[in-house]
Amino acid sequence: MASVAGVAAAGATLIGAATAHAATNRNGTKVTPSEALHHLKAGSLRWKSGHFEHRDYTPPGHDIIHGQWPFAAILSCADSRVNPESVFDVRQGNLFNVRNAGNVADEIAIGSLEYAVAVLKVPAILVLGHGSCGAVVATQKAVTTGAMPGGDIDAIVDLIRPAIERLPHDHTSAEAIRSNVQHSAQTLLHQSGTIAKAVEAGKLRIAKAVYIIGSREVDFFAHYPAHAG
């Protein structure tokens, strides 16, 4: 487990002075954790309604040619129907995307998010699952029948497995997807000192949601936006 300062120092050498600024609201103020979640929620409503604005929270006078100032990091599935810039109606440079099948919090995903938090100073992480997630379905099958998919897909199933095993046998697919999101969010907090300390310091909020492909709706978990864990 690396310290916040250690990760920041390592990251700073990678990107130089590009962290001198942060994502900004339209009035020029720095995006806070709660504002970041609000921007995600508002963007998801624009996506659902079809009234796109392609918002940009890059600080005034700055260009993504010279750096990046994302206002949130998204841990989401690699599913081709769940691309965050579309779902949250923002431009390039606004979201630090960590994607893999099943939105699992493995070592590489956690390391990527630690970089976003410690170096890029993102004020929010959203763990985003989605309906009809093949990785979750494969894990449900593995838990129920013992049949593993094979190859390195097994590594994904093993990471999702605890989220399924803690549910009753007659759980629904929606419950399985939500449990997997919850499990990934818990893993971030439990396995990353960098992320946990940023949350404790009030510099970072972790939110959870499920994207419903059919309705284009992002269903933020209960307690939004007050609950960080």
Tell whether residue 79 is a contact of Zn ion (CB under 5 A).
Answer: yes
Of 6 and 162, the one with the shorter C-beta distance to Zn ion is: 162
> How many helices and strands in the chain, by DSSP H and E?
8, 5
| Torsion region of 98: left, alpha or beta (phi above 0 gives left; psi -120 to 50 gives alpha) | beta
Smallest separation (angstroms) from Zn ion to the CB of 105: 14
Q: Which residues within the stretch 16-75 sit at the binding site for Zn ion (CB under 5 A)?
A: none
Best CA proximity match to 119, nearest among 2, 199, 13, 23: 13
Question: Does residue 139 belong to the site contacting Zn ion (CB under 5 A)?
Answer: no
Among 54, 51, 60, 52, smallest CA distance to 27 is for 60
Token pair belonging to 125? 């992480």
Interface size with Zn ion, residues (CB under 5 A): 3
* Residue 58 or 184 with smaller CB distance to Zn ion: 184
The yes or no reply on residue 87 touching Zn ion (CB under 5 A) is no
Cα distances from 17 to residues 9, 20, 69, in angstroms, run 12, 6, 12
Q: Which of 43, 64, 40, 45 is nearest to 54 (CA)?
A: 43
Helices (H), the chain: 4-15, 33-49, 84-87, 107-118, 134-145, 153-165, 173-191, 193-200
Using CB under 5 A, which of the segments 23-31, 86-94, 112-120, 130-138 binds Zn ion? 130-138
User: Could you tell me which stretch among 127-135, 143-151, 159-167, 201-209 binds Zn ion (CB under 5 A)?
Assistant: 127-135
Which residues share a beta bridge with 77? 100
* Candidate list 37, 75, 77, 199; residue touching Zn ion; CB under 5 A: 77
- Supply the DSSP symbol for 1: -
Binding of residue 133 to Zn ion (CB under 5 A): yes
Structure tokens at 138: 């494969």
Place of tokens 């998801």: 44
Q: How far is the CB of 135 from Zn ion (least distance, A)?
A: 5
Q: Which is nearer to Zn ion, 56 or 85 (CB)?
A: 85
Q: Is 211 in the site for Zn ion (CB under 5 A)?
A: no
- Residue 133 Cβ vs Zn ion, minimum distance, rounded to whole Å: 3
Q: Which is nearer to Zn ion, 33 or 131 (CB)?
A: 131
Residue range at the interface with Zn ion (CB under 5 A); choices 36-44, 76-84, 89-97, 148-156 = 76-84
Return residues touching Zn ion (CB under 5 A).
Answer: 77, 79, 133
